[in-house]
Structure 1
Amino acid sequence: MQKYILFTVLSAIFIVFVGMGIIVPILPIYAAELGATGFALGVIVAAFALSGGLLQPFVGSFSDRHGKKGFLITGLLIFGLTGYTYTLASSVGHMVLIRTLHGAGSAMIVPIAMAYMTEISAGKNVGRYMGMLNIAIFSGIGAGPVLGGFFLDLWGRNSAFYTMALLSFLAAALVALVLPGRDSLTIEEEQGSMLSVFARMLHHRKVMGILLARMATMIIMVPTFAFLPLLMTRHMTASGTEIGMVIASRTIVNALFQMPFGSLADRYNKNRLLLLGSTIISIGIFSVPFAVSFVTLLLLFALIGLGEAISWPAMGALAAEEGHLYGQGSMMGVFNTAMNTGIFVGAMGVGALVDVLGIAWAFYLVAGFLFSSAIIAAAMIRPRKKTCISTGDKS
């Protein structure tokens, strides 16, 4: 049964992220056509992150108590609905509302899938299983932009949104037909009230370090998805297909190296892998504005993907270790709220600065923030040296 659950979860996640990736090259251009400034584009990105971030801890906690299947199906159905409603937007305000609904759907997909993967692993080779999940996510996102750019050039933007809706409904049907009605995996013991669980997590130094790392690594999504298409169209007169290929180079490299680095995370120091990967990502992001050609950008985004392949399985495995203490759904909900927080903060802050300083600064500032945050997070995650006299948290 666990093999069927594993196949179904990975297949559903791959399908839905292909759908999400399809709209990546199109959304910023669509928003600009509706009159979005750099700040407004940041708000559109932030709306997705805000609704998803607020809901994920509660969805995760409820799933620990009431089962995961219903939440996963609901999230996939919301994704399908938003795929259609994107085609109806006629103003920036409409786009913000649609992105808010889209974010609510994401709150019921990613943390639930992560909790499933952690429970399937039964505490063994967690990095490897997180690598599998990341392969499904990044393979989907990697294939999606290429298809999205192709659709944009050939049939126009609405074809991509319709495809996203169809793929999301297909994933929902797959989950409904295959996954058991109640979770057949080990159910976490009650950890106390929802708020008390969250309070204990947020007072734990190691957990806060993991959340800081998660937030910082996700801020890079803002310049990558929101401003890279504009940078390429304005300075390189790039086609939709070329934009999709650059974005895909990052996600495909990421997917290809998830398994080896996931297995390495099970044997090696996860904290060091997290710091190494974050440093590589920072270098790649900082270098983007200096790129002078399509090929240069392909190589830089492949480098960024390599950094993510090193850091993401280690980060997910660290979170899974803490999930044994707090409940996997609860931990993954908070873990992904940190992700959405990074996107929200980056979208609002970077979007406003782009209007004043220019697109290049979106990449410089994000790179600097990621590098400094990675150093701080590594210090928080690293176990404290034991002393003869107890002085507090030994995590």
Structure 2
Amino acid sequence: MGVRTSSWALSAAVFIQMAGVGLIVAFLPGRMMELSGSIRFVGYLASVFAVPFVLFQLPLGHLADRHGCKAFIVAGYLLSGLAGLLFFRAAGAWGLLAGRLLQGFGEIPTWALAPALLSLLFPLSKGGAIGIYNASMHLGLTAGSLLSLTLALSGDGREAFLLYAALSLAAALIAALLVRDPLSARGGSAESGSWSDLFRALRSLRRPALQAGIILYGGGYGTFLTVIPAALLGQGASGQERVSLFFTLFYVAVSLSQIVAGKISDRRGRDVTLLAGLILVTAGLALFPAFGGTGALAFLALAAFGLGMFCVSALARLQEALPLSLRGSASGLFYLLWGVGYFLMPPLLGWVGTALGQTTIFPLTALLFAVEAAALRLTSAGRD
């Protein structure tokens, strides 16, 4: 199996599984509100998902550097299938949170190790390769969101969780049969070094503005998946159909931005797309509360486009900042930082919205992204 076959297999597998994710995330916030009666528990859906990302990204990335990524990717899809079964059987808020925790474990390899493998397979065009993979991921989420528009019309949508489990198992089969991992094919490698070598490399990575931006990106991503849909539901706009449309636009915008920004950053440098992404997020979040209906969704899509631009550029930049033998660890570090933001920011914004009103959430978030853009520009943290 060649590198092109492996690349397309990784993209196909993630598209299939993420179609299931896009389907269930459209139902999870409303289902949690129904079972718990509190927007605070909706924020916990993001926090619980992020716990494995914070605790296990670096250990798993380091193990992948030594033994290869493929086995962990396949195992992740299998765990996600089990999470779907837990969602289906959940009778209360804690059952949903348990499934979300297992889903977090399952998606670590999907988010972090597949890009690490692609950076090894395509060393000279990693931005474009990662961008196509991430676009496939978000196009799958888009397909799932569109499917949720149909399923939302019948029952409580619990059948969506069973479909998610089946799609995850199909993705595991594709990855197992068609993906080639050069490292695992050689029976592993000790070139990644010891844990002390890894931590020495991480201590040498002095890019605080970039690292802060990745944390903020994770928080922004979690906010788009939890707090913003809950706020749209709270406005009584159009119920579940409006939330499903929002998710569709979000995933389409992130998909397109991954392809565009990945290729541009390979040719023009990472700084251009890093800063452009932050500026778009700031503008979209600052302006959308002033508009209703289609206008609000359009500005949210603009912010989502900016999130995707920042993501692919920052991930490629972090891959370049660490040695080739630590590509799995670099992806692990990215999603560890991402998980910190994803864990902290949505519930904090939920508390702010409860205490001060939902209208304060989005100007505050826009301000955070504006400050990050200024810090990244002033410190030139994204430059070699």
Is the TM value for this pair above 0.5? yes
The offset of 1:306, in angstroms, is: 2.8
Matched, 1:116 2:117: yes
Give the equivalent residue in structure 1 for 2:28. 27
223-232 or 339-348, which deviates more: 223-232
C-alpha change, 1:186 and 1:135, in structure 2 (3 Å) is farther
Amino acid at match of 1:201: L
C-alpha change, 1:149 and 1:54, in structure 2 (3 Å) is farther
Take 2:52 and 2:324, find their aligned partners in 1: how far apart are those partners? Answer: 26
Partner of 1:94, secondary structure, is helix
Partner of 1:242, secondary structure, is helix
Take 2:373 and 2:334, find their aligned partners in 1: how far apart are those partners? Answer: 16
Take 2:172 and 2:192, find their aligned partners in 1: how far apart are those partners? Answer: 30
Report if the CA contact (8 A) 1:54-1:337 is conserved. Answer: yes
The offset of 1:302, in angstroms, is: 2.5
Matched, 1:319 2:318: yes
Give the equivalent residue in structure 1 for 2:97. 96
C-alpha change, 1:306 and 1:185, in structure 2 (3 Å) is farther
Q: Within 5 A, what are the aligned runs for 1:367-386?
A: 367-382=366-381
Take 2:75 and 2:131, find their aligned partners in 1: how far apart are those partners? Answer: 25
Report if the CA contact (8 A) 1:285-1:367 is conserved. Answer: yes
* Gaps in structure 2 of 5+ consecutive residues: none
The offset of 1:189, in angstroms, is: 6.2
Report if the CA contact (8 A) 1:52-1:105 is conserved. Answer: no
Take 1:78 and 1:127, find their aligned partners in 2: how far apart are those partners? Answer: 28
92-101 or 70-79, which deviates more: 92-101
Take 1:112 and 1:209, find their aligned partners in 2: how far apart are those partners? Answer: 24
Q: Within 5 A, what are the aligned runs for 1:167-316?
A: 167-180=167-180, 183-184=184-185, 190-206=191-207, 208-293=208-293, 295-316=294-315
Give the equivalent residue in structure 1 for 2:107. 106
The offset of 1:36, in angstroms, is: 4.2
Report if the CA contact (8 A) 2:76-2:109 is conserved. Answer: yes
C-alpha change, 1:103 and 1:163, in structure 2 (3 Å) is same
The offset of 1:195, in angstroms, is: 4.5
Give the equivalent residue in structure 1 for 2:88. 87
141-150 or 74-83, which deviates more: 141-150
Take 1:347 and 1:53, find their aligned partners in 2: how far apart are those partners? Answer: 15
Report if the CA contact (8 A) 2:276-2:306 is conserved. Answer: yes
Give the equivalent residue in structure 1 for 2:58. 57
Report if the CA contact (8 A) 1:60-1:112 is conserved. Answer: yes
Amino acid at match of 1:139: L
Report if the CA contact (8 A) 2:278-2:373 is conserved. Answer: yes
- Cα shift readout 1:140-198 (whole Å, capped 9, x = no counterpart): 12222221232122343212111111111110011112224763599776243225413
- Cα shift readout 1:199-230 (whole Å, capped 9, x = no counterpart): 43144213x43322221122122332212222
Partner of 1:190, secondary structure, is coil
Report if the CA contact (8 A) 1:272-1:378 is conserved. Answer: no
Take 1:63 and 1:383, find their aligned partners in 2: how far apart are those partners? Answer: 26
Amino acid at match of 1:56: Q
Amino acid at match of 1:213: G
The offset of 1:67, in angstroms, is: 1.5
C-alpha change, 1:47 and 1:301, in structure 2 (3 Å) is same
Report if the CA contact (8 A) 2:209-2:375 is conserved. Answer: yes
Report if the CA contact (8 A) 1:24-1:148 is conserved. Answer: no
Partner of 1:205, secondary structure, is coil
Give the equivalent residue in structure 1 for 2:131. 131
Partner of 2:36, secondary structure, is coil
Partner of 1:219, secondary structure, is helix
- Cα shift readout 1:47-81 (whole Å, capped 9, x = no counterpart): 10112221111111101101211111111011111
Amino acid at match of 1:128: G
21-30 or 155-164, which deviates more: 155-164
Aligned Cα RMSD in Å? 2.3
Report if the CA contact (8 A) 2:290-2:296 is conserved. Answer: no
Report if the CA contact (8 A) 2:278-2:310 is conserved. Answer: yes
The offset of 1:370, in angstroms, is: 2.0
Give the equivalent residue in structure 2 for 1:390. none
Amino acid at match of 1:322: A
Take 1:176 and 1:202, find their aligned partners in 2: how far apart are those partners? Answer: 35
Take 1:40 and 1:250, find their aligned partners in 2: how far apart are those partners? Answer: 22
C-alpha change, 1:210 and 1:195, in structure 2 (3 Å) is farther
C-alpha change, 1:202 and 1:296, in structure 2 (3 Å) is farther
Give the equivalent residue in structure 2 for 1:388. none
Report if the CA contact (8 A) 1:40-1:351 is conserved. Answer: no
Report if the CA contact (8 A) 1:26-1:149 is conserved. Answer: no
The offset of 1:292, in angstroms, is: 1.5
Give the equivalent residue in structure 1 for 2:340. 341
The offset of 1:380, in angstroms, is: 4.4
Take 2:46 and 2:254, find their aligned partners in 1: how far apart are those partners? Answer: 22
Take 1:250 and 1:13, find their aligned partners in 2: how far apart are those partners? Answer: 17
Aligned residue pairs: how many?
A: 382
TM-score normalised by structure 2 residue count: 0.92
Partner of 1:237, secondary structure, is coil
C-alpha change, 1:220 and 1:257, in structure 2 (3 Å) is closer
Amino acid at match of 2:60: V
